[in-house]
Chain A
Amino acid sequence: MPDYNDFLSRIYEILKPFAKHGRILNEQSELVTELGLTSLQVMELIEQIEDHFDISVPLNILPDIRTIRDLALQLEKLTN
């Protein structure tokens, strides 16, 4: 089973294009307000995670996710 760090590193990988202007992604980076992801891009991020780890991520967890850390924690909770 993938753990928190597995999810974290995958999220960093996928979000690389959003680390513009020398910004360094960290666990506190906020997906929408800081990195500027649209709702469509959030869903694409989720789809890429789903494909990579062969999991389905319920939409129900989305309201609890603001930061990269929130997402990695929810994914860990979901799979363990």
Chain B
Amino acid sequence: MSLFDKFKPIVDIRAELAKLGVMPFGAVTEKLLSSTEAIVNGHKVILAGTNNYLGLTFDPQCIAAAKQAVEEQGTGTTGSRMANGTFAEHIKLEQELAAFFDRRHAIVFSTGYAATMGMASTLAGPGDVIVLDADSHASIYDGVRMSGAEVIRFRHSDAGDLEKRLRRLGERTANTLIIVEGIYSMLGDPAPLADIAAVKRECGGMLLVDEAHSLGMLGAHGRGVAEAAGVEADVDFVVGTFSKSLGAIGGYCVSNHPELEAIRFGIRSYIFTASPSPSVIASTRVALRLMQERPELREHLWNNAQRLYDGLEQLGFQVSPQVSPVVAVTIKDRNQAIAWWNQLLQRGAYVNLVMPPASPTSDSLLRCSVSAAHTTEQIDRIIDAFATLQPTSMAAAD
């Protein structure tokens, strides 16, 4: 027995892929041509597997703000928010996030992972209960495992199953945290938040919603699924990230509970890491403003999503259950998915290859995500690349 024995399945699949000359995990972006095109593993491709939903990564105003911040404040803060790492701009971003979400309190984290994991691991502790959606992101699972709370799963997006589990808890719902996502990252399906909120009102508990993939996409102001469902008042905590629609890196939690200001100092992923770099905060602040000033970005995004979804569906692919900026094609055979991922790359479309256990079922996914910055012509080229795919074996992969 060795420490390394447990990594054998990963070693094996890496060897298998290397033999075939396919590198789907850790594909190298050698040169970015724009927010939607790049050279990846030597191929010029349309980027259809990023989370750059609003296409703001190359926005001139975001870039100018980041440059200015580097020049004025340096490349990094070199310290924790609790020590030397709180700059005036961190506070301003927290105030702007609170205002945007119409909440009283906000915390900014260094990554989305740190935000979600940190909140999940800190809000509930030993003696408390966490009831989470079975398809929750790894950052949520990591957090709840660290929390020391009793952790119960409910079936994905099944408000009835959530209700059953809360009823079984009886009075313990008083110290129960319910965790769901707004839009689920793999298939792009939105949570039935109106139903979930109704169950919460009926049975008790606090509700945390991860809007990582829904910020800027849904709701009258772009606040996410909770706003679109009209249940923001039932959501105690909203967490999310700057690394998707806001085109940077970092995370946040907003809430009306004044306790958030005390909770902040109990979150290890907030305290024991350096605060976000000045350039990141600067571009995020601009992106947050642009997201509000340019509702047309959302309109482009959804038009693109609809076009890609319809196109792939018409080709006969098994697409996600409903249209969203994440359009995932389900493929039963893992080797088929690998071969097709490789063919798509060579034919000018970069998408994400997702295999179990990262996919929510035993199937594999070719996960596409669209951007407001994609042109109609680019969306059509992605569809055209899919149209060339034929059932094939790995040996036949180009």
Contact = CB atoms under 8 A, between A and B. Distances in A.
Interface stretch (B19-27, B267-275, B287-295, B355-363): B355-363
Given A40-B356, A43-B134, A59 B152 contact: yes
Contact of A60 (B134, B150, B169, B357): B150
Contacts of A43: 134, 153
A59 B168 contact: no
Nearest to A46: B153
B168 A38 contact: no
B356 A56 contact: no
A47 B155 CA distance: 9
Interface of A: 38-40, 43, 47, 54-60
Contacts of B165: 56
A56 B152 contact: yes
A58 B150 contact: yes
B231 interface: no
Interface string B307-337: 0000000000000000000000000000000
Interface residues of B, number: 15
Contacts of B362: 38, 40
Nearest to A57: B152
Contact of B357 (A39, A47, A57, A59): A39
9 closest Cβ pairs, A-B complex: A59-B151, A58-B150, A56-B152, A56-B165, A56-B168, A58-B152, A58-B151, A60-B151, A39-B357
Main secondary structure of the interface of B (DSSP, over half): mixed
Interface in B120-155: 134, 144-145, 150-153, 155
Interface of B: 134, 144-145, 150-153, 155, 165, 168-169, 356-357, 361-362
A57 B151 CA distance: 8
B357 A40 contact: yes
Nearest to A59: B151
Contacts of A54: 168
Which of the listed residues B151, B153, B356 has the most CB atoms from chain A within 10 Å of its own CB?
Answer: B153
Of listed A39, A47, A56, residue having the most chain B CB within 10 A: A56
Contacts of B169: 56
B172 to A, nearest CB: 11
A29 B110 CA distance: 45
Nearest to B144: A59
A59 B153 contact: yes
Given A56-B165, A56-B168, A38 B356 contact: yes
Contact of A55 (B145, B155, B168): B168
Contacts of A47: 155
26 contacts: A38-B356, A38-B357, A38-B362, A39-B357, A40-B357, A40-B361, A40-B362, A43-B153, A47-B155, A54-B168, A55-B168, A56-B152, A56-B165, A56-B168, A56-B169, A57-B152, A58-B150, A58-B151, A58-B152, A59-B144, A59-B145, A59-B151, A59-B152, A59-B153, A60-B150, A60-B151
